[in-house]
Structure 1
Amino acid sequence: MPPLILASTSRYRQELLTRLRLPFEAVAPEVDETPLAGEVPAALAERLALAKARAVASLHPHAVVIGSDQVADLDGEPLGKPGSHEAARAQLQRMSGREVVFQTAVAVVAPGLAAIERAEVRVRLRPLSDREIETYLLADQPYDCAGSAKVESLGIALLDAVVSDDPTALIGLPLIRTCQLLRRAGLEPLA
């Protein structure tokens, strides 16, 4: 079996990939994540997922490399990781009572293969008071999450609905699509 590498330092993606019970190594992809001028969120997620996988595959040419990226899309505008309490508060205030589409792309690069899939997750936030936002941010500190909310934690209390055909996509790695791509690369999680 060729080595499996996750081109990511995200603990969320690493935790998700462990569910497949395949041995893997995580390697930082060293990719500039700055959006291109006029780049829409779905295209940004796909470009970055493939760039991450290719960057690590160039260093490990015999490996199967997974790259993934997620971009929160609010009316066509990409929302990244807030990085600070103030930025997270501003994001959640903008998203309050609205639908946000999370575009999560996964790419697999292996000898003879470079493939990408994207999962779309529609999230409807309930109307949030400033007090609720502040309480949530102090409790969960989601400053490293696109859209400023951890659905796998207390962030679920911010939501009215989540709609997706690949539920782990919201956490950052769409495992259904990842399995499909791994099979194309010759790795079967159930083997």
Structure 2
Amino acid sequence: MLILASTSPYRRELLQRLRLPFECARPDVDEAPLRAESPAQLVRRLSLAKADAVAGRHPEAWVIGSDQVADLDGRILGKPGGRDAAVAQLTEMGGRSVRFHTAVCLRRGAHALVAVDLTQVRFRALAAAEIERYVDAEQPFDCAGSFKCEGLGISLFDAIESHDPTALVGLPLIALAGLLREAGYAVP
């Protein structure tokens, strides 16, 4: 049994690409950063915590926990939650580079495998009207960084530097496929 410890439609859609049967379960984890916790530490801790929360209810299953944190000059950017916050985030990121830390954990019982991907996104200079058109068109209020790179958000960038293009969407499939093979799954 394979369980994705997430209710994110983005992660569910990504995991479906691997063509493995799985279920989804809500992890119910407090995602607030700890004091002095770096973005890399936070994302690793949250991926483990999400997997742990669901694995405790399903000890026989392999559980996938994942999390992503946007990092602007070492400062964690949360999900905007609404239009004004999304416009403010994109305004601040215009013409700058933002790092996205994405961690994935595969856990069953005491056995945990973890991988972390780092993606750097270089935003082009963005005019206020462009930002507003984009935010109104895609409403990326539940996305770290206030964009959807798999949609119109790609037009906001000069470049994306990553080892895994799926990591920026929220689940690093290259790393996860390796973890699943290590756990005994036949992928592909």
Q: TM-score range by the shorter chain?
A: over 0.9
Partner of 1:125: 123
Q: 1:182 aligns with which of 160, 180, 183?
A: 180
Counterpart in 2 of 1:43? 41
Q: For residue 158 of structure 1, what is the aligned residue in structure 2?
A: 156
User: How big is the shift at 1:111?
Assistant: 3.6
Match of 1:115 in 2: 113
Q: CA deviation at 1:180?
A: 1.0
Q: How does 1:61-76 map to 2 (within 5 A)?
A: 61-76=59-74
1:13 aligned residue (8, 11, 14):
11
Query: TM-score with structure 1 length normalisation?
Result: 0.97
Q: Identical aligned pairs, as a percentage?
A: 60
Give, in whole Å, the separation in 2 of the partners of 1:111 and 1:85.
41
Q: Is the 8 A contact 1:68 1:104 kept in 2?
A: yes
- 1:183 Cα deviation after fit: 1.4
Give 1:112 shift.
4.7
AA matched with 2:153 = G
Q: In 1, Cα distance between the equivalents of 2:122 and 2:100?
A: 11
Q: Indicate yes or no: 2:147 matched with 1:149.
A: yes
Shift of 1:123: 0.3
2:166 counterpart SS class? helix
Q: Which stretches of structure 1, 4 residues or longer, exceed 6 Å deviation after superposition?
A: none
CA contact (8 A) 1:113 1:185 kept: no
Conserved in 1, the CA contact under 8 Å of 2:117 and 2:167?
yes
Question: Partner residue of 2:21?
Answer: 23
Amino acid paired to 1:175: L
User: Which amino acid letter does the alignment assign opposite residue 44 of structure 1?
Assistant: L
Once residues 165 and 116 of structure 2 are traced to their aligned partners in structure 1, the CA distance between those partners, rounded to angstroms, is 12
For residues 60-119 of structure 1, the C-alpha deviation after alignment (integer angstroms, 9 at most, x for no partner) is: 000000000000010001111110101111100110000000000000101452111100
RMSD, matched Cα: 0.7
Counterpart amino acid of residue 4 in structure 2: L
5+ long unaligned stretches in structure 2: none
Distance in 1 (alpha carbons) for counterparts of 2:157 and 2:31: 28
